[in-house]
Amino acid sequence: MKAIVVTDQEAGTAGMKLVERPRPKAAINDVVVEVHASGFVGTELAWPSTWTDRLDRDRTPSIPGHELAGVVTALGYGTTGLSIGQRVFGLTDWSRDGTLAEYTAVEARNLAPLPGDVDFTVGASLPISGLTAWQGLFVHGRVQAGQSVIAHGSAGAVGSMVTQLAREIGAHVIGTGRAADRQAALDFGANEFVDLDNEALEDVGQVDLVFDLIGGDIGKRSASMVRSGGTLVSIVGPVEARPADGLAVDFVVEADRAQLGEIVERVRDGRLRTNIGTVASLDEAVGAFNSKERRTGKTIIRVRG
């Protein structure tokens, strides 16, 4: 099968190569999925799991990309819950070969059914950004109606989901990002917007929840904006400064079939709009990931069709 591999951590996306690899086999509780569309987060190439397995052994050449939408073509020993020919989408294990390939093997429990009226490209754009927003807001942040939320990078892949889901439950959302992203953030539902390059974040006052996906100085300044009893949720690693009288949580997104179902239902009924920037074929993927232009929204690789 055709697949993109990486072998050199120093090379970043420039080291990606389109090659022939053996088709994966389904292990216990796995399915093999014929990948129709794949999502890739650039920072994966900095994560240890792209380079080593769970015992820290070199696993290169490794296939990056951990979001997919496709069709089940094989079931492993003992696999239940999904069937051959079923449309699925989901988030694959960080430590196994991923989805920038014609086929991938993945534990069935990491996938959810993809309804027939949801395009594969849309399905592949949802798992990481949708699940991260869902888990950060509802599982770790325990956001409630009427609370105020700072959604950093609110025009980006995760931030646009955070903004929409927080608005849906009745929170007041302060989006942030670049000046050029103000309108996009407001269109995703932000009540207000702070241009981080030209406006003072602190002017918005204390909030119940900060959803940080920027870190660094913005992350540190955000900690002081969490009101008593509030929460700073970070998806960019351990927080460097904690709220004086609140919680700080950092987490890595996990696969969850029920949450994927909640997310795709919202896409179907129009409550949630996905944020796709570029769609490219597998042959064009290495070029797309190495583009020098500023990319907004997710890059989705249409592997088939």
Ligand X SMILES: NC(=O)c1ccc[n+]([C@@H]2O[C@H](COP(=O)([O-])OP(=O)(O)OC[C@H]3O[C@@H](n4cnc5c(N)ncnc54)[C@H](OP(=O)(O)O)[C@@H]3O)[C@@H](O)[C@H]2O)c1
The terminus-to-terminus CA distance of the chain in angstroms comes to 16
CA-closest candidate to residue 236, choices 47, 62, 66, 99: 47
CB of 104 or CB of 299, closer to ligand X: 299
Q: Which DSSP string corresponds to 143-190?
A: --TT-EEEETTTTSHHHHHHHHHHHHTT-EEEEEE-GGGHHHHHHTT-
Rounded to a whole number of angstroms, the minimum distance from the CB of residue 74 to ligand X is 29
82 or 184, CB closer to ligand X? Answer: 184
> Which residue of this chain has its Cβ atom nearest to ligand X in the complex?
156
Considering only residues 76 to 135 of the shown chain, the ones binding ligand X according to CB under 6 A are: 128, 132
Smallest distance, ligand X to C-beta of residue 267, A:
17
| 162 touching ligand X, by CB under 6 A | no
Write down the H helix ranges in the chain: 120-125, 127-134, 157-168, 182-187, 216-223, 257-268, 285-289
Tell whether residue 301 is a contact of ligand X (CB under 6 A).
no
41 near ligand X (CB under 6 A): yes
Give min distance, CB of 32 to ligand X, in A.
25
Using rule CB under 6 A, residue 263 touches ligand X = no
At 169, list the tokens: 């439950």
Please tell me whether residue 249 binds ligand X under the rule CB under 6 A. Answer: no
Q: Which residues contact 71 (CB under 8 A, 6 or more apart)?
A: 33, 34, 36, 85, 86, 87, 88
Which residue number, 4 or 214, has a Cβ lying nearer to ligand X?
Answer: 214
What lies within 8 Å, CB to CB, of 183 at 6+ separation is none
Tell the smallest beta-carbon distance from residue 132 to ligand X (Å): 4
Nearest to ligand X of 143, 161 (CB atom): 161
Stretch that binds ligand X, among 100-108, 154-162, 166-174, 255-263 (CB under 6 A): 154-162
Among candidates 194, 35, 2, 202, which has minimal Cα distance to 127?
A: 35
Which range in 95-103, 155-163, 239-247, 279-287 contacts ligand X by CB under 6 A? Answer: 155-163
| CA–CA dist 287, 293 (Å, integer) | 11
Contact flag: residue 198 with ligand X (CB under 6 A): no
What does the alpha-carbon distance between residue 193 and residue 175 come to, in Å, rounded to a whole number? 5
Per the CB < 8 A criterion, the answer to whether 210 and 235 are in contact is: no
From 130, 135, 189, 195, select the one nearest 163 (Cα to Cα): 189
Q: Which of 130, 153, 189, 230 binds ligand X (CB under 6 A)?
A: 153
**Span from 2-10, 62-70, 173-181, 258-266 in contact with ligand X (CB under 6 A):** 173-181
157 is an interface residue for ligand X by CB under 6 A: yes
Q: Quick one: which of 100, 213, 233, 260 contacts ligand X (CB under 6 A)?
A: 213
Q: Which amino acid is at 193?
A: F
59 or 178: whose CB is closer to ligand X?
Answer: 178
Q: Give the interface segment with ligand X, choosing from 18-26, 48-56, 99-107, 149-157 (CB under 6 A).
A: 149-157
Residue with tokens 């792209």: 50
Where does this chain touch ligand X (CB under 6 A) — which range of 1-9, 99-107, 212-220, 261-269?
212-220
User: Cα separation of 63 and 7, whole Å?
Assistant: 9
Residues at the site binding ligand X, with contacts judged by CB under 6 A: 41, 43, 128, 132, 153, 155-159, 177-178, 181, 196, 213-214, 218, 235-236, 252-253, 294
